[in-house]
Structure 1
Amino acid sequence: MSFQFQFSENYILESEIVRLEPLEQSHIPSLLTYSLHQPEIWKFSSIAAIGEENFKKYVQIALDQREKLIEYAFVVYDKRTNEYAGSTRFYDMQLQNKTLQLGYTWYGSQFHGTGLNKHCKYLLLEFAFEKMGMERVEFRADNTNERSKSAMKSIGCKVDGVLRKNMLKLDGTRRDSIVLSILRDEWFDEVKENLKQKL
């Protein structure tokens, strides 16, 4: 019988390096330090997450979106340091069209450049293409977010284009969003193997 993704299921994706588990309220104490002490990681966030109350709302929004069957957020646990490192999620999930977006990704600054992101993306893309049967996984970022753009290109994303002034930023200005994607045949033909070599 073919795999059917269920929002009510608790999917755990893991390797020797990282474990991705569904985000829950119980993770807030382990993640709150990033909200209180690392404001720089939220520079490009589209949802206010700095400060305890804002961060609790941030998590609640993610959980509400899962209830609405359109998003599925994970918490990231680094097995090397035995710490919760951040969060990421599937969103704009259009299962009938076999497409979803992968984003809302953030990690504590001490995990930047450690390879953690590539390990997470590998597990998420493998799950999306090989379990869920997705045809396209899309990524978006603020077009001025060079770190995010470089990270996405390094895992094999191709640039589709730029959506001009398509989102309101927290400061009231509008952002241009770069859109990148990986297609199912690209994953199997080259992206999977190339990404595996970088792990």
Structure 2
Amino acid sequence: MIEFDFSKEYILEDDIALVRPLQMEDLEYLVYVTSQPAVWKYSTLKADTPEDLKVYIEKALQARADGKEYPFIMFDKRTNQYAGSTRFYDIKLNQHNLSLGYTWYAEEHQGTGLNKHCKYLLFDFAFQQDFERVEFAADTANKKSIAAMKSLGCTEEGILRSHVIRLDGSRRDTIVLSMLRSEWEQTYKYELEHKIYATK
């Protein structure tokens, strides 16, 4: 039975990363990322100004209040700095499925290993809550994100053609990948633990 509760304040952490529920007050910690255009290159939601980021956070928090999404803020303990945001969305409690996305990191936190720590915490939490499937979706042009998901063990399932309208008005193809609870518990949890601690 799914134990996930939208009203609970879930805090996930290890020795490197802290992943906690996003709050409106977090705008001041994340606003510096709005000045980094590359962070928003593949985003379908505009958040590259302080005003737009405020709206972005407000909508994410409303989606949580509506029982649809659960947004997080991510913190790097090594640099003592908030690094970005991610969220569970398209949460289907009756089907034991959810999606993990809307993920972005400030440029200085990309390629530092923080993402692997955060993904480990989020995967492990989701599957401990008895979700059976975690899905990812990305712009097929976002090669870095796709490579990162595959490096975690996610399986490519297919391409949704002309699926989403980009901020520039063009249409994108979307790649869908997933991780199953059985795969995580039997193989990829331990492989990711090895990668995390081998690169510390």
Give TM-score scaled by structure 2 length.
0.96
Deviations along 1:39-74, one digit per CA (max 9) or x if unpaired, are: 111000010001111110111111011011110000
**Is the counterpart of residue 144 in structure 1 residue 141 in structure 2?**
yes
SS of 1:147's equivalent?
helix
2:19 counterpart residue number: 20
Deviations along 1:113-154, one digit per CA (max 9) or x if unpaired, are: 110000000000000011x10111000100110010000000
Counterpart residue type for residue 20 of structure 1: V
What RMSD, in angstroms, separates the aligned Cα atoms of the two structures? 0.9
Counterpart residue type for residue 41 of structure 1: V
SS of 1:106's equivalent?
strand
Counterpart residue type for residue 39 of structure 1: P
- Count of aligned positions: 196
**Distance of 2:37 and 2:170 partners within structure 1:** 19
**Is the counterpart of residue 160 in structure 1 residue 157 in structure 2?**
yes
**Distance of 1:124 and 1:96 partners within structure 2:** 20
1:82 counterpart residue number: 80
**Distance of 1:89 and 1:21 partners within structure 2:** 10
SS of 1:165's equivalent?
strand
Aligned partner of 2:194 among 185, 194, 197: 197
Gaps of 5+ in 2: none
**Distance of 1:89 and 1:75 partners within structure 2:** 8
Identity of aligned residues (%): 50
4+ residue runs of structure 1 moved beyond 4 angstroms? none
SS of 2:83's equivalent?
strand
SS of 2:115's equivalent?
helix
1:32 counterpart residue number: 31
Quote the offset at 1:3 in angstroms. Answer: 6.5
CA contact (8 A) 2:44 2:167 kept: yes
SS of 1:89's equivalent?
strand
2:104 counterpart residue number: 106
Aligned partner of 1:188 among 165, 185, 190: 185
Counterpart residue type for residue 119 of structure 2: K
Give TM-score scaled by structure 1 length.
0.97
Gaps of 5+ in 1: none
SS of 2:188's equivalent?
helix
1:52 counterpart residue number: 50
Counterpart residue type for residue 121 of structure 1: K
Quote the offset at 1:172 in angstroms. Answer: 1.1
CA contact (8 A) 2:74 2:82 kept: yes
CA contact (8 A) 2:2 2:131 kept: no
CA contact (8 A) 2:20 2:74 kept: yes
**Distance of 2:101 and 2:146 partners within structure 1:** 12
**Distance of 2:107 and 2:94 partners within structure 1:** 36
**Distance of 2:175 and 2:36 partners within structure 1:** 25
CA contact (8 A) 2:71 2:87 kept: yes
